[in-house]
Copies of this chain bind each other. A is one copy, B any other.
Amino acid sequence: MSPAPLFKRVALIGFGLIGGSIARAARAQNLAEEIVATARSAKTRARVAELGIVDRVVESNIDAVKDADLVILCIPVGACGPVAQEVVAYLKPGAIVSDVGSVKGAVVRDMAPHLPASVHFVPAHPVAGTEHSGPDSGFAELFINRWCILTPPEGTDPNAVERLRAFWAGLGAKVEIMTPDHHDLVLAITSHLPHLIAYTIVGTADELGQVTSSEVMKFSAGGFRDFTRIAASDPTMWRDVFLANKDAVLEMLGTFNEDLSKLTRAIRRGDGEALFEHFTRTRAIRRGIVEIGQDSSAPDFGRPHANLANEPE
């Protein structure tokens, strides 16, 4: 009953959370006849082979792209340009070249100049992830109901865009198309600024003199622990994101700082009404996110809670 796979050969360069999740989901959904994977470190390649979730693990990026119909770079944003340059001579004519980077303007700027007219460049960003990284962290359900944003440069063959859209839809994602610049603004507020703030506050807590780290951890259930999840994300990936999306992040940061000053002033002046008004408004946004299925409505994200010794009958 299964239709023919969308692609004959899919090459995954890089096998962290995203590469590993694509491999697992693509196999589960029969989206490729063959999945070839590679990774920079020999340890990761050995682990991928051991996991048995791709058809072939190869030693180099060049070996990976040979004869591939779809090549996806699943590596930090800063590595995309050099890898494109490395493999460009070995790409199959007609192949689709894509990535999964959280920044799109810089990726287009770094990759596009290397790519020949004989291939289709369709940058992509699946807006999904967890705080874990490495070849074991992926899972087939990661993209379900999440958005994947495609940012094809003007003039890209619509058939290539459509095939990549079908691939991501097959992985469970909802697909949207926008320009790289607009993508970078949207993600600056929905992802990059939240990460920067979380990294900051977790660092602040770690440095305090009057409150110990062990106290911070013990009493983290009051709110702090939610921030530590995203501040535990992959450091290399996030370093590259902030360097690559500098302008949009600095712009959002400016607005954030103004708003923080406003609330700080309200606290200093004891202006309860201003605080109450602000706190009431933010509740509505949460409701919207839950309503459109982008988060769980279960209290505490549905975190597991232990049972009491004597449960009521």
List residues of chain A with CB under 8 Å of any chain B CB: 2, 25, 27-30, 102, 127-132, 137, 139-142, 144-147, 149, 172, 176, 182, 185-187, 189-208, 210-211, 213-233, 235-236, 238-240, 242-243, 246, 249-250, 252-253, 255-257, 259-260, 263-264, 267-268, 270, 272, 275-276, 278-283, 285-289, 292, 294-296, 298-312
A204 touches B259 (CB 8 A): yes
A299 CA / B220 CA spacing, docked (Å)? 18
Give the Cβ gap from A1 to chain B, nearest Cβ, in Å: 10
A199 touches B279 (CB 8 A): yes
**Residues of chain B lying within 8 A (CB to CB) of residue A228:** 282, 285-286, 289, 295
B197 touches A285 (CB 8 A): no
- Kindly list 14 other residue pairs between chains A and B, CB separation below 8 angstroms, not including A129-B222, A192-B223: A29-B308, A30-B310, A127-B222, A131-B286, A131-B300, A144-B305, A191-B224, A198-B223, A206-B282, A220-B289, A235-B280, A235-B283, A236-B276, A295-B303
B211 touches A223 (CB 8 A): no
**Residues of chain B lying within 8 A (CB to CB) of residue A207:** 255, 259
Q: Which residue of B lies closest to A215 (CB)?
A: B186
Give this chain's copy count.
2
**Residues of chain B lying within 8 A (CB to CB) of residue A272:** 239-240, 243
B218 touches A147 (CB 8 A): yes
A302 touches B302 (CB 8 A): yes
A126 CA / B108 CA spacing, docked (Å)? 50
A309 CA / B143 CA spacing, docked (Å)? 13
A265 CA / B308 CA spacing, docked (Å)? 49
**Residues of chain B lying within 8 A (CB to CB) of residue A195:** 223
**Residues of chain B lying within 8 A (CB to CB) of residue A224:** 189-191, 194
Give the Cβ gap from A185 to chain B, nearest Cβ, in Å: 5
